[in-house]
Structures are given as structure tokens and as C-alpha cells.
Amino acid sequence: MDLNEKVITTHKLTKRFGDFVATNEITFDVYKGEIFGFLGANGAGKTTAMRMLCGLSTPSSGEASIAGYDIYKETEKVKAHIGYMSQKFSLYEDLTVMENIRLFGGIYGMSNAYIKSKSEALIQQLGMEKEVKKLVGSLPLGWKQKLAFSVAVFHEPKIVFLDEPTGGVDPITRRQFWDLIYEAADRGITIFVTTHYMDEAEYCNRISMMVDGYIKALDSPTRLKQQYSAETMDEVFFELARGAQRKGD
Amino acid sequence: MPAVELQSISKTYNNGELKAVNEVSFSVKKGELFGLIGPDGAGKTSIFRILTTLLLPEQGQASVVGYDVVKDYKEIRKKVGYMPGKFSLYQDLSVQENLEFFATVFGTTIEANYDLIRDIYIQIEPFRHRRAGKLSGGMKQKLALCCALIHRPEVLLLDEPTTGVDTVSRKEFWEMLKRLKQEGITILVSTPYMDEATLCERIALIETGNILSIDTPEGIIRQFPKLLYAIKAARMSQLLRDIRQYPEVDSCHAFGEFHHITFRQNEDALAKLLGHLQNLQHQGLEIKAITPTIEDCFINLLAKA
């Protein structure tokens, strides 16, 4: 993690839907190569915040810059410099492994030569030589998720947004997935991740905790546990989220 | 007579290519809270669909409250309450309309069984005129549970009721299950969250169609074959790599704040490893012997399988 370079900065970032304030004046910075856990109860406003940070939703007020680009005026540049992966939509199931890599590489403007050399290295790293020509839909979930992550960082983005990447994945694959996250962070890619697994919160450099649209706490897991006199991040989460008024999705 | 019984149940998809459920046998006692614990693709949903008579098994036999899932499907449908993993109520009916609909289908009324659902229903009652499709995740879950209970089933089958739900709602949901158990209802519940296993009386750990172990959570933990240690240091990902490379280490997995380690059969392996890590300049080393969690047991069984 490089404390000299901020890749995400927000200042009083807000999104309103009519009278409803989904995300309420959130202010924080994320550093290069940091693993930043973005936690919160259902309905706290995480998805809305993430959509703004990815350049998919225009804020109502406040400021933010992603990889140095303004999220009002430079949304296309924001999109080109980030990667995104979620549990729900990851890859095209009816394309093969290699077709998916070529498709996403192409969308991010990579040259054919780059795609060819990098995809070979990637396939080897994942140990998927035999699966290259298989449809992604036929792969086990754990492999899909590892492939989806690798595709999300294929263009070496500054930041990768991971929305519950390990939901439902078996405990061993879940840990292999985190190995990939650590490697990417060591390469300088910033990881912005949401999860419902509190042990995974411990793997983050810092955690922000959203409740009812606000960031209620933001610190390292160790300091959060001290602050809330808690043994585990689960207790910290429970303490913070218990009083939540909103119980949305 | 067990409330639920499966004997060598198998189910395949794609013309036998995918073995979803592979000779699975277990039984759930009357009044028991039994957990089916495993990741996506373990076969949990197929088992629920067989027990609810929505899917025919290819091999084996299964019964619910004594009725055969193939021959007596009509009887079983009256006796079980089912909450599928995917929200399956009518999105364009209101909360109250959904509940009335399910009560009517089962030939009863909300009033007749209101005592059973009251504690849960009062939490969503303020929204009784809202369409089900417009409810939040936590409220949908509560409505689905009410609809599954409205005919006072003998057996409640809950397929991943807490998936995608935050910690606070998950805790509330398990509290509701405990109360239902006190009413004498048998509950078979599945979850991918290993930490929920200890809330069940007995559990089956399941993976890619195979049962890895069946016991009480305490029993499964007792069967863990080795001493388990938790270790931490300042640089956790480097620590993980260094420990894994050490020859006398049998397994090392990240577990939140700590890494969990088991050793091969050597008595002084722990002291030697600590010396090795100190030589590698690891700062802030802390190690302690710990009791395994269900997730440790699952990983151990998975590695052996």
C-alpha cells in the first residue's frame, strides 16, 4: 500500500432519490495498492455509492475522483481505469474461457498481441489449460469466480471493485480467491471490496462501515475492534448495524 | 419414525454428466433443527426439491413424515412448509394477499394459525398493503417464512434462507428458528455460512453432491484429527507464504485476524517453526492453541476428499 498516492478521494458525496438520501455526505480516501473493505448492513447505501464511484450513476452533490478522474465529467475515463466484478454478473456463460478474455480485453481497448500473450500467462497461472475452449457456464463456481477476477484486472486497472465476490464459494476456493486479491494488491492494484464474510473483513487494510447512508466508522480492523471493545469484526459490525433504521436490499 | 429420511439418494443433470447428489443418506429426527452446510453446487437445492416432491430422484428412497417422496407426493405437500432459495412469492400481490393466498391454498385461514406466525408477522404487518416485490430483502425473507408456516407444517424446509442477508438479520432469523423449534416443528435448513452450523443441533457437511460428515457440531469439531494453532504477525500475507513453505507444516489457511496451522507428526515442530519465522524477521508474532471451528473441519474434510 502506497500512502503517497490516493486513487479514490471523495468529499461529501451524496445521492438522493427524491426525499430518500441513499448515500449521505460520505468522505474518504483510498490509497494505491490498498485493500479497502466497504461494509454495511443491507440497505445502507453501499451499492449506490459503488455505482457512483464506477461512473455509472451521477451524484446529487459532493465531489469524488477515481484514478485521478472526476466522476461528473470524466466517467468514460473512470470506467477505462477500473475493473469490476460481482457475484451476480461476472462472465458470459455461453462463451468459452478464451472468448470471454478476448471480449473483455477488446472492450478495454487492449491490442490483439497484448491479449494473446497476457491470456496465455493468465491461463497458465490459473491452471486452466484444459478449460480454455470450454464454455464458462460449464465450469464450477469457484473457477468462474477466479476467472472473473482475473478478467476484471486483465487490463491492469488502477482499482478493481469487487461486489461480494466470494458469496456461496467453498472455504478453500474462497481463500484461493483472496490469494489472487493479495497478489493484485502487491502489484499496486487497489482493491475495493464488499463482503458478508466477517473473516474477510480482517484481510483488508482498512474497513469502512456504512449505516443508513452514512459512513459510521472507518479504520483498520485492529483499531475498530479496540474502539468497540470487540473480539471479532462480527461484533463490531453487529454493534454498528444494530441500530440501523433502514432495512433495504 | 424420522421426520425426514434419505437413503442413497442420487440425482444427475445433463444426461448423467453432472452428479448433483451422490448416494446421499441422512435422517432428521422429529423436532430436530438439522443443518445442511455446504457451498454453492454442493447439491443442497436438489435435495430440497426432492424432499418437496418437485424433483424425482434417480436412485434411492426418501420419505418425509413417513410418506414416500415419489408415491405419496400429495400427502407430503400438505405436511411441509418450503422456503426456496429464490424468492418465490407473488411479487404483484401485497404482503397480506400473499399470506391469504397461501392460507387458502392449504385450506386454512390466517386466524387459525396466527399464533404460530405472530412474532414474525408483526414485524412486517406495518407494510401489509405493500406489494411483495417492493419489500426489502429482510422483509421478503420474513414474509416467505410466514407463508411457509401458515398451514402449520410438520416439517419446515428452508433452502439458504440467510444468503445475501446481513449479520444482524441473520441473527434475527436464527432466533425465529429457535422459537419455531420450541413449537415442535422439525426444521431442515441449508446454509453456505459455516458459522451458522453451530446454531443447529446436528449438521451434515456436504460438497459436490457428497456428504463429508454428519454429527452434532461439537462431534464434528471433536473429530478434527490434529492440534490446531492460530498465528499472527505484522505482515500476514508474507507469513502465510513462509509458513506454507515450511516442510513440517501440514496445512495453513487464512482465518481472518489469524492463520490456522496444523503440523505433521513432529513434537517440536511448533518451536522450530517459530524459530524459523523469527529468523525471517517476522515482527509481532503471536501463536496460541485453539479449538477448531466448523470451517476448519470442512476444509480438512475437503482436503482429504
Distance CA B45, CA B22 (A): 13
> What architecture does CATH give domain B228-304?
2-Layer Sandwich (3.30)
Of A202, A222, A242, the CB nearest to B168: A242
CB contact under 8 A, A171 and B165: no
Tell me which of A38, A134, A170 to substitute to probe the interface with B (most B C-beta atoms closer than 10 Å). Answer: A170
CB contact under 8 A, B138 and A234: no
Sketch the domain layout of chain B as residue ranges. 4-222, 228-304
Place of cell 423449534: B181
Distance CA B215, CA B205 (A): 9
User: Does residue B41 belong to the interface with chain A, where contact is any CB pair within 8 Å?
Assistant: yes
CB contact under 8 A, A199 and B256: yes
Phi, psi angles (nearest 5°) of residue A99: -60, -40
The whole-angstrom distance between B256's CA and the closest CA on chain A is 4
The amino acid at residue B238 is Q
**Angle at which helices B95-105 and B137-149 cross, to 10°:** 20
Residue of chain B whose alpha carbon sits nearest to that of A221: B257
The whole-angstrom distance between A225's CA and the closest CA on chain B is 11
CB contact under 8 A, A201 and B192: no
User: Does residue B235 belong to the interface with chain A, where contact is any CB pair within 8 Å?
Assistant: no
Q: What is the pLDDT along chain B (305 residues), one digit of tens a residue?
A: 999 999 999 999 989 888 999 999 999 999 999 999 999 889 999 999 999 999 999 999 999 999 999 999 999 999 999 999 988 999 999 999 999 999 999 999 999 999 999 999 998 999 999 999 988 778 898 999 999 999 999 999 999 999 878 888 888 899 999 999 999 999 999 999 999 999 999 999 999 999 999 999 999 999 999 999 999 999 888 999 999 999 999 999 999 889 999 999 877 899 999 999 999 999 999 999 999 999 999 999 998 87
CB contact under 8 A, B136 and A247: yes
B4-222: CATH topology: Rossmann fold (3.40.50)
CB contact under 8 A, A140 and B295: no
Q: What is the ipTM of this complex?
A: 0.82
Distance CA A201, CA A181 (A): 13
The whole-angstrom distance between B168's CA and the closest CA on chain A is 6
Contact criterion met (CB below 8 Å) for B208 and B41: yes
Place of cell 437413503: B7
User: For residue A164, which of A129, A136, A190, A201 has the smallest C-alpha distance?
Assistant: A201
Place of cell 407430503: B76
Of A41, A171, A232, the CB nearest to B299: A171
Q: How far is CA B231 from the centre of its chain?
A: 28
